[in-house]
Amino acid sequence: MAIDTGIIDGREVAQAVRGEVRQRLEALRARTGVTAGLATILVGEDPASKVYVGNKHKACHDVGMESFDVTLPAGATQTEVEAKVAETAADERIHGMILQLPLPKGLDGVAAMNTIPAAKDADGLTLASQGRLATNLPGPRPATPWGVIRLLEHYDVPMSGRHAVIVGRSNIVGKPLVHLFLEQNCTVTICHSRTADLEAECRRGDIVIGAVGVPKLIGRAHVSEGAVVVDVGINRTDAGLVGDCDFEGLQGIARLITPVPGGVGPMTIAMLLTNTVALAEAALAG
């Protein structure tokens, strides 16, 4: 018998998270006189990256956070990029910063990102922050996977003792999600392109996460009745934006599912803002 499938509304949850950030910013301002600030560093003119950076500045404006727009020309060298990261990190008005990736060809974006000091890592993606997450130490958390956990918490999805199956093993989504689910006392399975029987692995999940980049890969054969499905995928197709999970096909099977767009997407910026206010609170503590 088909069940009613509920929709996880990422826009609504992101608004709630932004509201919390707004309150924390006001409390910090009242206590210290300081407004927390986020800096973005953009190298070159990539149109998609410009849009992403613009959205981050708009979000800062929305919650009352300072934002700093740092740019470098496409021809910048690795040394120049890393010098700009150091200069930005030294600015005491800036409490969190991100280096917009990918960098133009010929530059090593991950190496440059890893020069961001842990105390200012707003994306939570540096080696230091990922190491802290993997060893249960506090610190900024990778924004997109942390947004997945916040969505599940908001909808009171039980996690302790439940089985989370993650499809995708990237450093920015799949792998950090393993640790975030372990923090929630989930049993975790991570699947990838060499997984022998993806359908069977996914069907074991009380929670199934698609973080692959393959349109509608996860369908009816992958999801057990009553499971919760979270779709991180964003794929541009002729039919518009679609996720990694077959949203229509999973109606009547999943208990809850995120749409694309309007699911995980809005959470990434909300969690970036959360990391930044937390970094500012830590910097101004005492």
Which residues would be at the binding site for ligand NAD (CB under 6 A)?
144, 167-170, 172-174, 191-193, 195, 198, 211-214, 217, 232-235, 264-265, 268
Per DSSP, what are the bridge partners of residue 42? 71
Minimum distance, C-beta of residue 58 to ligand NAD, in the bound complex (Å): 16
Quote the CA–CA distance of 8 and 223 in Å, as a whole number.
17
Answer for the pair 280, 253: CB distance below 8 angstroms, yes or no: no
Residues near 180 by Cβ (< 8 Å), separated by ≥ 6? 133, 141, 145, 146, 148, 149
Closer residue to ligand NAD (CB): 103 or 283:
103
* Shortest distance in whole angstroms from residue 33 CB to ligand NAD: 34
| Residue 144 or 184 with smaller CB distance to ligand NAD | 144
Residues 6+ apart with CB under 8 A from 42: 49, 50, 53, 69, 70, 71, 72, 100
Q: How far is the CB of 93 from ligand NAD (least distance, A)?
A: 27
Q: How far is the CB of 30 from ligand NAD (least distance, A)?
A: 32
CB of 145 to ligand NAD, least distance (A): 9
Catalytic residue among 121, 123, 244, 246: 123
Give yes or no: 100 in active site: yes
Backbone angles phi, psi at 190, to 5 degrees: -115, 130
Q: Is 123 one of the annotated active-site residues of the chain?
A: yes
What is the C-alpha separation between 61 and 53, in angstroms, rounded? 13
Q: Which amino acid makes up residue 240?
A: G
Judged by beta carbon, residue 28 or residue 114, the one nearer ligand NAD is 114
What is the DSSP code (8-state) at residue 124? -
| CB-neighbour burial class of residue 227 (10 A; exposed 0-12, middle 13-18, buried 19+) | buried
Active site residue 197: no
Residue nearer to ligand NAD on the CB measure, 76 or 122: 122
Out of 84, 100, 120, 231, the active site residue is: 100
> Which residue's beta carbon is nearest to the bound ligand NAD?
170
Nearer to ligand NAD, 82 or 121 (CB): 121
- Positions annotated as catalytic residues are 56, 100, 123
